[in-house]
Copies of this chain bind each other. A is one copy, B any other.
Amino acid sequence: MKFADRLNNVETSAIRELFKLLGKPGIISFAGGFPDSAMFDVAGIEAATERVLRDEPGAALQYGATEGYQPLREQLSAFMASKGAQDVAPEQLIVTTGSQQALDLLGKTMINPGDRVIVEGPTFLATIQCFRLYGAEVISAPIDSDGVKPDELERLIVEHQPRLVYLIPTFGNPSGATLSLERRRKILELAVKHQVLVVEDDPYGDLYFADAPPPSLLALTPTVPGSREWLAHCGSLSKVLCPGLRIGWLIGHPDLLARATMCKQFSDAHTSTFAQATAAQYLRSGVMPQTLARVRAVYAERARAMGDALRSELGDAVEFVQPQGGLFMWVRLTGARGQERDANALAKRAIEQGVAFVPGSPFFSQNPDPSTLRLSFATADIDRIREGIARLKKALAA
């Protein structure tokens, strides 16, 4: 059987090989990109499904509008307002099957084979692959602990004339970095100046540990004239409520949304109305602020424990910026005193010691840095985090 040429643009073996190893018994995994299922508000979700099946079973189990279930669009509009984006009407967002689908719809709507897109180096792996499936050449823009560097980004925009620029400005995956307020304004100015679509993927922005991060690019658009037209924003309930409902959303210019909706019609018709109605009832119940507070407190404690353990156990073998939110710690092997500086080699020895992480290289669309690795502090409790880092120390010494 012959398959479509677009499949040749994608390479998934690096991660696949790694995940095969995760089945090893007793392993402590810092490799996942998911939230801790022990923290899901099961009782709250159960109450929501009961209300759905009592009050609106016909609508919630039937086909629904491709744009999304109207009560959920209204709740998401209010949720965005609570996060500083005051002016997103329900009609200005569409519900997607997880924010992964928002990325897919952006690819389908925007990208011709051969088009260039710019992402952060490093960025979310599935974004790179998703855009490559539409034939994109994925260009990598350098970042530091304040996120993408606007001057470098502008140089790349001018050079490559990209179809879009994709950023995770807040608690980035895998970098953990947060774009500074000053840089956020500059990015919006660049979008207007160069008439290029900037995609803000924001699954982690609610997961801050102490102070709230700077406002989202979306929330800042009113301060940069003309920028709203050039911004698309992807939201998700996966990291703050649970991934299993697959509820994401896409906010953008009406012309973009109309076309993304048309593409969605032929992708999956609509997102599960049952899941949408459940999410809407959950949001309407008003418990989300407590849920967020609980999740933030737990992840903050784990991030602190992991940072402390890394500093005390691994010392000068690693360097990292202590994350202020999100799920991830981005670590660089320094190679100090002749210690290992290749994260792929370390990953294999780590598995032997019973601890897993993802090497950083696959997160780069270009110019991978083999000394980097991503640790998730989300799913292991504090004792397991300490034990896991102790095992990492043994792997480093092995």
Contact = CB atoms under 8 A, between A and B. Distances in A.
Interface of A: 1-7, 10, 12, 34-35, 37-38, 40, 42, 45-46, 49-50, 53, 57-64, 96-98, 100-101, 103-104, 108-112, 126, 129-130, 133-134, 163, 197, 229-230, 238, 242-246, 253, 255-256, 259, 262-263, 265-275, 277-278
Contact of A46 (B53, B259, B268, B271): B53
Stoichiometry, copies per complex: 2
B104 A133 contact: no
A200 to B, nearest CB: 16
A97 B134 CA distance: 20
B255 A1 contact: yes
A244 B272 CA distance: 5
A244 B60 contact: yes
Contacts of A1: 197, 229-230, 253, 255-256
29 contacts: A2-B163, A4-B109, A4-B134, A10-B262, A34-B62, A34-B63, A35-B62, A37-B57, A37-B62, A40-B58, A42-B61, A45-B53, A60-B244, A62-B244, A63-B243, A97-B246, A97-B271, A97-B272, A100-B266, A100-B269, A104-B266, A104-B267, A130-B266, A242-B274, A245-B272, A246-B272, A267-B267, A274-B275, A275-B275
B62 A4 contact: no
Given A7-B262, A100-B268, A268-B101, A40 B57 contact: yes
A243 B58 CA distance: 11
Contacts of A58: 37-38, 40
B267 A101 contact: yes
Given A37-B57, A129-B266, 5 more contacts: A40-B62, A42-B57, A46-B53, A60-B244, A246-B269
